[in-house]
Amino acid sequence: MYKLREVKYEDYESIKLLTYNKEENIHLHENISYMDKVFFDRMLVDETVRWYAVEKDAQIRAFVLFHLDVSTKEIHIDRFTIDGTYKNKGLDEHLYSKVERLAEKKSFTKIKTEISTTELDVYDFFESKGWIKAENGSYVLTMKK
């Protein structure tokens, strides 16, 4: 059974393994940076960051890390990673739904991200949700009011 929850300090090793293994896992960015402990710790205490994970069998199988900009009412998805062996098992839907529900609850108007991967499924996923590629190459979803 899958469990969707916030990331906590004890998750560092699982998150690190997911980001480190670039060939087997699916990321938003082709050149995703390695998850060092300093960055991990800083993101956990940052009030503008939300970080959710999908857990199965006591292991993190996917996660999303995003920033909330209260002044502009926008969310920026920084990292969205799925364990490659769990591709097409709905983990992306679990995480994405969490971000979208939070945006609606807090009356945010846009969700943004940059995508730079050769995984065409990533582009297809976001486009199927109504995201549009902006002129600068980023992807944007304007929330319905």
Q: Give the pLDDT of residue 145.
A: 56
Query: Is this structure's pTM higher than 0.85?
Result: yes
Domains of the chain, earliest start first: 3-142 (3.40.630.30)
Residue with tokens 């998750």: 11
What confidence tens digit (pLDDT) does each residue in 34-76 have?
A: 788 999 999 999 999 999 999 998 899 999 999 999 999 999 9
Burial 91-129 (b: 16+ CB within 10 A, else e): bbebbbebbbebbeeeebeebbbebebebeebeebbeee
